[in-house]
Amino acid sequence: MAKRFTNSAKWHRKWLRSLSDKDKIFWFFINDDCDHAGVWDVDWDNAKYFTGHDYDYKTVINAFGDKLIETYDPNFWFVTTFPEFQYGIHLNTKNRTHLSVIEILKKYDLLQYTDLIIKDNR
């Protein structure tokens, strides 16, 4: 089971406070359920099972704006804030975890949606 950093100050962020309880639960769920690069394998049944709520594409996209985007493959979505929060803004290709994150983001053409700075030391 993956361990994730969390920010206890999140409760003070206006955008999170403005979400419905249902959407807050979904946000926490996808941040826990996504891979280590922030890519979520879209599974509405799984989301419903673990959160106790039904969700649909339009409602979720409207609720999260640019924090959650669909990749070129509609079966995978990207939590845009995830990599920077988990690893910092600088990713180093000598670090195997960072390299894996970079490769996943490249695979789904997602680097353009981040502010990550990649140091290529291979």
**Which helix (DSSP H) or strand (DSSP E) does residue 21 occupy?**
helix 21-33
How far the first Cα of the chain sits from its last, in Å, is: 29
What span, in angstroms and rounded, lies between the C-alpha atoms of 64 and 59?
9
Per-residue pLDDT of the chain (122 residues; tens, 9 = 90+): 678 888 888 899 999 999 999 999 999 999 999 999 999 999 999 999 999 999 988 889 899 999 999 999 999 999 999 999 999 999 999 999 999 999 999 999 999 999 989 888 66
Cβ 66 vs Cβ 74: under 8 Å? no
Asked if 118 and 93 count as a contact pair (C-beta separation under 8 A), the reply is yes
Per DSSP (E only), the strands in 2-64 are 39-41
Structure tokens at 94: 């000598």
Task: Break the chain into its structural domains and give their ranges.
Answer: 12-119
